[in-house]
Amino acid sequence: MAEKNKKRPKVIYEIQTAGYTFKFRKPTLEDIQMYGDMSFNSPTRATYNFIMNTLIEPSHEEAAKIFQEEPGLVLAIGSQLLREVGLITEITVKKVEAD
- The pLDDT assigned to 7 comes to 67
Look at residue 44 in the predicted model and tell me its pLDDT: 93
Q: Is the pLDDT reported for residue 4 higher than 60?
A: no
Residue ranges per structural domain of the chain: 2-84
The verdict on pTM exceeding 0.75 is yes
Q: What is the CATH number of domain 2-84?
A: 3.30.2220.10
**How would DSSP label each residue in 3-29?**
HHHHHS-S-EEEEEETTEEEEEEPPPH
Give residue-wise pLDDT tens across range 6-61. 567 788 999 999 999 999 999 999 999 999 999 999 999 999 999 999 999 999 99
d(CA 48, CA 4): 28
50/93 Cα distance (integer angstroms): 28
